[in-house]
Amino acid sequence: ICDHPPQTGLAFAARVRLCADYLGHACRRASGEWLLNTAAPLELLQVLNRIFAPESVAECSLESAIAAPTDRQQDFSDIALLIVDDHPINRRLLADQLISLGFSQVAVACDGVDALGALQQQAADIVLTDVNMPNMDGYQLTERLRQQGRTLPIVGVTANALAEERQRCIEVGMDSCLSKPVMREDLLASLSGYAQQIRRRREKEA
């Protein structure tokens, strides 16, 4: 735990080390696991399972993942996405994630104004937008798109995991919200569901 007001996790660890009664035998555990303060119980359970899983299991899982055949990758080549983010590195990372998941039609825009122009030039099936941007943020972009009568799925991406932020995303018309850093599995779970909806709608309209 690295942040727990009024005392940080680091301060707590320092105090524990001063009291020998709290100290047991040292053991090696996984590092680098993170949870947002609004994490669901299932997310906490998954992280704990990864941390306390036997090393042999972890190594086996890693080897299986590396050896997994690429033909298991889903094909989303028929789904066009638009990434909207003012930070070029974020745009690149998100685009790379989407391509690795099987999306091949990935366009980018640097803010809401740029996104509106891009959508006039080329249609998108799903919009993935940062919520805080200059010129026109993700909230304003969503409101504008809904005013235009566009019903395409809009997924907000926010660095603020507070429930109020998520609620605001829904209130302005977004379909869902993902927290940064966006995990690959969360991205797949969210977008694959929308892709299925889009394909079913296309079949009905055909």
d(CA 179, CA 142): 17
CA end-to-end distance (rounded Å), the chain: 53
List domains and CATH numbers for the chain: 9-67 (no CATH), 72-205 (3.40.50.2300)
Report pLDDT digits (tens) over 124-181: 999 999 999 999 999 999 999 999 999 999 999 998 767 888 899 999 999 999 998 8
Report pLDDT digits (tens) over 1-54: 444 455 555 565 555 555 544 445 444 445 555 555 555 555 566 666 666 554
Strand segments (E) across the chain: 80-84, 105-109, 126-130, 154-158, 176-179
Number of residues that this document lists for the chain = 206
Angle at alpha carbon of residue 19, lines to 15 and 24, rounded to 5°: 110
